[in-house]
Amino acid sequence: MQLPSAELTAAELDLRAQVRAFLAERLPAGTFEPGLGMGAPVDPAFSAALAERGWVGMAVPAVYGGPGATAVDRFVVVEELLRWGAPVGQHWVADRQIAPVLLRFGTEYQKQWLLPRICRGEVCFCIGMSEPDAGSDLAAVRTRGVRTDGGWRVSGTKVWTTNAMAADYMIALCRTGDMAQGTRHDGLSRFLIDMRSPGVTVEPILYLDGSTGHFAQVVFDDVTVSDDLVIGEIGQGWAQNTSELAFERSGPDRWISTFLLVQEFIREHPQLAAGVAGRRLIGEQAAQYWVLRRLSLAVARAIDAGETPAAEAALIKEMGTRFEQDVVTALQDLLDRELICDLDPAHPPSLFERLLRRAVLDAPSFTIRGGTTEVLRSVAAKGLT
């Protein structure tokens, strides 16, 4: 695997300094509850402020309201936002996935209607892929779109849908043709669905501790979707979906979700961090962060060069999400104590403890979202041989 240089230019370093200054002013440390990577809270006001600086929908051309920035510029901004634990939930999916999909497959009407709103941070999206009993096998999708006069009627269930509770729209992968033997990838299409349409029911999925996470189950009961909300060609959903996943797998969100844990561990447990075991743990994690960061940045450079590094992106996602989980396990082992719920309001858990508890609950999903470890290894092996 050969990838281009991963060094930042002077202009990119200047952009990073601007983002850091903005975050320090807008979200001073200690004044907000940081999130873990892309699972951070939804904050429309923050996303709007970010959009005013041209840092939402960065890849969108000026004709549709964006700055037309590079993939590396977006990498720089995203890395700083996630490292800070910023509340990116409002614009995250729209910025990372929906805007590129519309630019590549959307109609002119869809681009004119949605892209400027995405660039202003006004709309929140979710992605409808996974389904009950289908696991990570997207070719087993059973949510069906049935042709009607002037549109489609969609019925079925999506599950593990991130931010469905707050989303304005979903891009849903649906079966619009027959699933004949050996052609399961055929007959899949994607629709833009208004989450407030009659027949849409969103059911939050509770975590083991009883809290509401960012996942939900979404049920469609004869939801009407007009023809102008079809993404691209009917029957081309699988090809679109594959193209989209190839690029979303390599970003900083695939290896930086638990970065704040290490940072807060050092702050709250300086003596433990300075011990032999603590220094070894921090050193090993810093080395892996550096390798993953350079690989991820190199893929962004390749995308800017017009390449399609799908196998490389899959490899980075596989390595990165396993590493995110390893960070959580390593810190738990080093602390060597159980995480219990504090019932004494006079002694609330520290920021590190709150982040660690959240990470323990979120970590199992890291190696599932965006493709399981097994699927990614298959993609990487086929593409790099």
What averages of pLDDT result for each successive group of 10 residues across the chain (385 residues)?
Answer: 74 97 96 90 96 96 95 95 96 93 95 97 94 77 93 96 94 85 76 97 86 88 96 88 68 90 95 96 95 91 84 86 94 83 70 92 82 74 70
Give me 49's structure tokens.
């402020």
Q: Give the distance from CA 15 to its chain's centroid.
A: 22
Half-sphere exposure of 101 (CA within 13 A, CB side): 34
From 222, 383, 206, select the one nearest 310 (Cα to Cα): 383
From 27, 362, 374, select the one nearest 162 (Cα to Cα): 362
Collect all residues with Cβ–Cβ distance below 8 Å to 197 and sequence separation of at least 6.
223, 224
Q: Longest Cα pair distance anywhere in the chain, in angstroms?
A: 70
pLDDT for res 328:
95
Q: Left if phi > 0, otherwise alpha if psi is -120 to 50, otherwise beta: which for 9?
A: beta
pLDDT for res 1:
58
pLDDT for res 307:
82
pLDDT for res 378:
77
| DSSP-based three-state secondary structure for 107 | coil
pLDDT for res 122:
96
Q: Which residue has the tokens 């009950």?
A: 132
From 243, 377, 241, select the one nearest 317 (Cα to Cα): 377
